[in-house]
C-alpha cells in the first residue's frame, strides 16, 4: 500500500503517489537551481511546470488515476534533465556545455510538440493572426501578410471578417511552451529557457 498525495500543478489537481512526488519535487528543485542565475528564471520554471502538467493530463486521459514513479521518469526523460545541458559553472568550459546541449537537443527531437495554431504576440502588427499562421506552417511572415492584403481586395472574399474572427477565436501564445508548440519545436528545458531568454533580450533591445 502506497501513500497518495494531491498536488496542484499548472492549476490542475492531480493524484500522485509518495515516491513519484519526491522524484518530481527533487526534479523541480534541480531546475530552480539550474536556472537561478538567469533572467526570467521563475518564468522558465513555471513554463516547465505547465508542460509537465500537460503531460500529466495525457496520462489521466489514458485512464490513469494516480501518477506513478514510472510516469514521472518518462516525463522527465521527455522534457530533459538539467545535467543534460551542463550545470552553469564558471569553471566549466563553455564550448563543452554547448556541445552537451546540442547533443541533448538532438536526442529529444522525437519529443517535439504537436503543432498548435496560436496568435504570435512577438511578431504581430495587429492581432498576431498572420504571424501565428506563418509560424504554424513555417512560411515567411511577409508573404503571408502580403497574401492577406491581396485577399482583402478580392471580390466576395471576406478576408477582414475572417481575420477578426481569428483574432477573437485563436488564443495568443503567452507561455514559452505555447510559443514552442506554435512553431512545432520540442518543449524541452533547453528550448523553454532559450525562448524566455530571447524574450527578455528582445524587450531589452526595444523589439
Give the 3-state secondary structure of the chain. Answer: CCCEEEEEECCEEEEEEHHHHHHHHHHHHHHHHHCCCCCCHHHHHHHHHHHHHHHHHHHHHCCCCCECHHHHHHHHHHHCCHHHCCCCCCCCCHHHHHHHHHHHHHHCHHHECCCCCCECCCCCCCCCHHHHHHHHHCCCHHHHHHHHHHHHCCCCCCHHHHHHHHHHHCCECCCHHHHHHHHCCECCHHHHHHHHHHHHHHHHCCC
* Residue 149 is assigned to a structural domain of this protein: yes
The rounded distance, in Å, linking the Cα atoms of 23 and 146 is 51
Same domain, 160 and 69: no
Same domain, 9 and 63: yes
* Residue 140 is assigned to a structural domain of this protein: yes
Same domain, 31 and 93: yes
The pLDDT value given to residue 90: 42
Q: Which of 50, 103, 96 is nearest to 75 (CA)?
A: 50
The pLDDT value given to residue 202: 53
Q: What is the pTM of this model?
A: 0.55
* Residue 76 is assigned to a structural domain of this protein: yes
Same domain, 58 and 155: no
Same domain, 157 and 184: no
Q: What does each C-alpha distance from 148 to 68, 130, 141, 170, 202 come to in angstroms?
A: 49, 8, 11, 17, 27
Residue 115 and residue 181 in contact, taking contact as beta carbons nearer than 8 Å: yes
- Rounded to a whole number of angstroms, the distance between the first and last alpha carbons of the chain is 55
Structural domain harbouring 72? 4-115+176-204
Same domain, 50 and 139: no
* Residue 152 is assigned to a structural domain of this protein: yes
Same domain, 71 and 31: yes
Q: Which three cell numbers stand for residue 51?
A: 508542460
Q: What does each C-alpha distance from 173 to 19, 166, 199 come to in angstroms?
A: 34, 14, 13
Same domain, 61 and 97: yes
Same domain, 28 and 69: yes
* Residue 71 is assigned to a structural domain of this protein: yes
* Residue 123 is assigned to a structural domain of this protein: no
Report the domain count for the chain: 2
* Residue 120 is assigned to a structural domain of this protein: no
One pLDDT digit (tens) per residue for the chain, 207 residues: 678 889 888 788 888 988 888 888 888 888 888 777 777 778 878 888 888 888 888 888 777 788 888 888 888 888 777 666 554 444 444 444 444 444 444 444 444 457 788 998 888 888 899 999 998 888 899 999 999 999 989 988 899 999 999 999 999 887 777 777 788 777 676 667 666 656 545 544 555
Same domain, 10 and 97: yes
Same domain, 186 and 101: yes
Same domain, 10 and 29: yes
Who contacts 40 (Cβ-Cβ below 8 Å, separation ≥6)?
A: 196, 197, 199, 200
* Residue 161 is assigned to a structural domain of this protein: yes
Amino acid at each position: 500500500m502506497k501513500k497518495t498525495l494531491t498536488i496542484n500543478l499548472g492549476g490542475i489537481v492531480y493524484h500522485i503517489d509518495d515516491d513519484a512526488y519526491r522524484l518530481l519535487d527533487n526534479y523541480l528543485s534541480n531546475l530552480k537551481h539550474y536556472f537561478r542565475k538567469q533572467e526570467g528564471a521563475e518564468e522558465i520554471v513555471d513554463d516547465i511546470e505547465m508542460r509537465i502538467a500537460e503531460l500529466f493530463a495525457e496520462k489521466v486521459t489514458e485512464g490513469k488515476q494516480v501518477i506513478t514513479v514510472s510516469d514521472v521518469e518518462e516525463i522527465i526523460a521527455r522534457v530533459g534533465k538539467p545535467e543534460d545541458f551542463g550545470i552553469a559553472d564558471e569553471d566549466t568550459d563553455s564550448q563543452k556545455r554547448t556541445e552537451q546541449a546540442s547533443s541533448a537537443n538532438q536526442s529529444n527531437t522525437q519529443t517535439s510538440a504537436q503543432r498548435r495554431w496560436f496568435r504570435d504576440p512577438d511578431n504581430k502588427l495587429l492581432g498576431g493572426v498572420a504571424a501565428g499562421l506563418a509560424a504554424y506552417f513555417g512560411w515567411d511572415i511577409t508573404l503571408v501578410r502580403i497574401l492577406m492584403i491581396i485577399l482583402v481586395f478580392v471580390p466576395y472574399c471576406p478576408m477582414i471578417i475572417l481575420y477578426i474572427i481569428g483574432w477573437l477565436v485563436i488564443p495568443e501564445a503567452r507561455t514559452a511552451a505555447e510559443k514552442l508548440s506554435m512553431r512545432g519545436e520540442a518543449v524541452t528545458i533547453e528550448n523553454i529557457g532559450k525562448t524566455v531568454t530571447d524574450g527578455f533580450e528582445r524587450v531589452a533591445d526595444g523589439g
